[in-house]
Amino acid sequence: PNAAQFPADVQALQAQGKKVLISIGGANGPVQLLTATDVTNFVSSMLSIITTHGFDGLDIDLEGSSLGIDPGDQDFQNPTSPKVVNFIAAVTQLLGMLPADFMLTAAPETATLQGAVSAYAGVWGAYLPVIHALRNQLDWVQVQHYNTGPMVDRNGQLQSPATADFHVAMADMLMTGFFVPAAGAFFPPLDPSQVVIGLPASPLAAGTGFTPAPIVHAALDHLYLGLSAGSNYPLGNSNGYEHFRGLMTWSINWDLHAASSFSQSHRSYLDSVNLATDTQTVLTGSGGSVHFSLRAGVAHAGRAYFLVPTLSGTSPGTWLPGNRNFPINLDGVSDWPFRPATSGFFGGFAG
């Protein structure tokens, strides 16, 4: 689209209830912030782009020479490498100028994050201090499980790409945490809701890493449900992670090129596991009625749920613990699950 049409396209997607993020970096777009002036210019230019086009969030996809761990920099909790320190400062400044519900995601390559188990120098582990510093601001981390060689897991075992154990091990490392030998310190776990597996949409979408749907679903069975029939990796939580965030793909265009085989197969699986409705957005005028089906999914079998009525409107929404905004204005009835005096009757309620 041309520059004049682009904001309207963003708004059209937002009207469908979708979030639109701008992604920076990539294999051919390194982002290097070497000086304080670079930080200032980055913040200024990104703020202008975001506000002009109305983006809902920022995805940081730093690859190649964008980040690097300099000699002598061994503590991911207190980094000294200029590229790392300056980027953290820039993102922190930028977020401070944007609404609280502005989204932040990251798409590291395996070597730059989980690779810190093997080495912490150059690009190896270079994303680790960024993720650690921004962990409270990140909505999710979607590690690229493609274009990667074998990786060492948190138990010191080598895992081969495009296998169920590889996907499980790389995701579990982030949800369990892992020891970083060079730093002599433990990288604390992220919340399962912050962890996403990134996959190629088709064999043509990446050099390596394409994984057939049955193998992906075996990995997800293990991660979500703790079922190890298709994966032998010992999870940090043997029961699985019911709030694991899901999948990312590179890319929607490659998926369309492959007749939407990625989105169709995985959408069906995810709907069978998670709470799902056949209507993503429900709209009605005053006095109207709506009809939709709601399915709990196998990950929630046996749990009690409440359908909570609300007032109309999504703004300003309702703030939940953890600085998360539930984009519905709650009425007196729907407020009950969040009241300390009554929350015990609504076990597992998460909005």
Which residues are catalytic, by number? 63
For 16, the token pair is 């469908």
Per the DSSP assignment, residues forming a β-bridge with 109 are 144
CA distance 126 to 106: 13
Q: Which amino acid, residue 5?
A: Q
Give the DSSP H or E segment for 95.
helix 82-96
CA distance 190 to 174: 6
The alpha carbon dihedral of 337, 341, 347, 350 has a sign of positive
Which residues, other chains included, contact 78 with Cβ-Cβ below 8 Å and sequence gap of 6+? none
Closest-CA residue to 308 (of 285, 339, 287, 278) = 339
Closest-CA residue to 112 (of 81, 72, 155, 157) = 81
Residue 160 and residue 209 in contact, taking contact as beta carbons nearer than 8 Å: no
DSSP state of 222: I
